Amino acid sequence: MADIKKYSSNNIVDYVKNYMQSEEKEIVDLTCKLINARTENPPGDEILAVRIVEDFFQSLQIPYKIFEKTKNRANIVGYIGGRGERPFAPTLLVACHLDVVPAGDDWKRNPFEAWIENGRIYGRGSSDNKGQMASMMAVSKFLKENESKLKGQFILAGVADEERGSTLGLEYLLNECGIRADFAIIPDVAHNMQLIDVTEKGTLFLEITSHGKQAHGSRPEMGINAIWNMIPLLERIKHLKFQKTSHPLHTPPTLNLGSIHSGTSPNIVPAICKAQLDIRYLPDDLGDNIINDIKNIIREAETQYSPARFDLKIISNQMPTAVPINNPLVELISKHTLSILGTKPQPKGMSGATVTKQLIQKGITAVGFGPGDETEAHATNESISIKELVDFAKIMALIALDILS
């Protein structure tokens, strides 16, 4: 990493502040263009936003590649710098997703025709995640103009499919396209730049199937009711005891019964009942331990409620992740946020799963940090502050200089 002191002098900070302030109009214009590119997922059609980013990269002669696993579900990756040789010249990746959730109802105006009101940009994707992408495009312009000073490489990725699991987006780029970096910042954690996502809970999705025997509803004794057998089992699982129940940066672990499906008619004894669980567990706990505990509960239930029979399916088990709060990347974000906003963002644990988890699992030091209010994401009349987008660009430009020069 570059000598931090070299780039913390007031003249460099003032230069970046003035530069990004002069880019406010372009940040606003780019945000509006990206919003107007209708990339609701499903179906996605991120290619519409990718073409806007492509035109921008071409105008600045920024090298880029487009990766498309499925037609129109495109990702675009731009590269700046990289004169040095790894491992001495680090790489910084910033990934913003180009897909958005469906607009829903009750908007004041067309959600795919951006509008500006009281210093805010409105439209679907303004805060999640197209405004952030526009800010980073302005940072890319700044870094391209100062490319001779960069030993490391800056990578800006506009990715697909974040809202539906990233299978066609960042996961695809990491697993099939060879995208790698030393450091990554994901500006998809909207806390008005007051928090840094440094750790995430583990995410365990399970499906339990209760097997019974179908019979006529007037003769239930002739069948085995899969629903009746499922109810006491779920009640036991509800009181599951976690091995780790507290963490300085996290809320306690949680268990949510998300869905139950069974039966076709009230006059038929149901033979199958399926229930799905969402378990969020803390760092230092193990998903395998939780799975074994639930298997033991199932075995006990099968013995007590014989001839009840249950199957357990592991849908997914994403391990907890954590970056130390004294990691250089976290310290740089704190330092430059303080220089721009006058306040230091606090490290925070996330209950939800973001793409930082995928990056950390690939050995990349990754955190979440960005502008916007989390209450705006996915909401009707979604919006983001123009000032926050400009301030975010200032902070990110300073971070990039520190890491890459």
Q: What tokens does 297 get?
A: 């509960």
Tens digit of each residue's pLDDT, the chain (405 residues): 333 344 445 689 999 999 999 999 999 999 999 999 999 999 999 999 999 999 999 999 999 999 999 999 999 999 999 855 555 689 999 999 999 999 999 999 999 999 999 999 999 999 999 999 999 999 999 999 999 989 999 999 999 999 998 999 999 999 999 999 999 999 987 899 999 999 999 999 999 999 999 999 999 999 999 999 999 999 999 999 999 999 999 999 999 999 999 999 999 999 999 999 999 999 999 999 999 999 999 999 999 999 999 999 999 998 999 999 999 999 999 999 999 999 999 999 988 888 899 999 999 999 999 999 988 989 999 999 999 999 999 999 999 999 998
Looking at the DSSP assignment, which residues form a beta bridge with residue 100? 40
What is the Rg, in whole angstroms, of the alpha carbon atoms belonging to the chain? Answer: 24
Task: Tell me the pTM.
Answer: 0.87
The type of residue at 191 is: H
Per DSSP, what are the bridge partners of residue 260? 275
Domains of the chain, first to last: 4-200+320-404 (3.40.630.10), 202-318 (3.30.70.360)
**Alpha-carbon span 238 to 93, nearest angstrom:** 41
DSSP 93-114: EEEEE--B----S--SS-TTS-
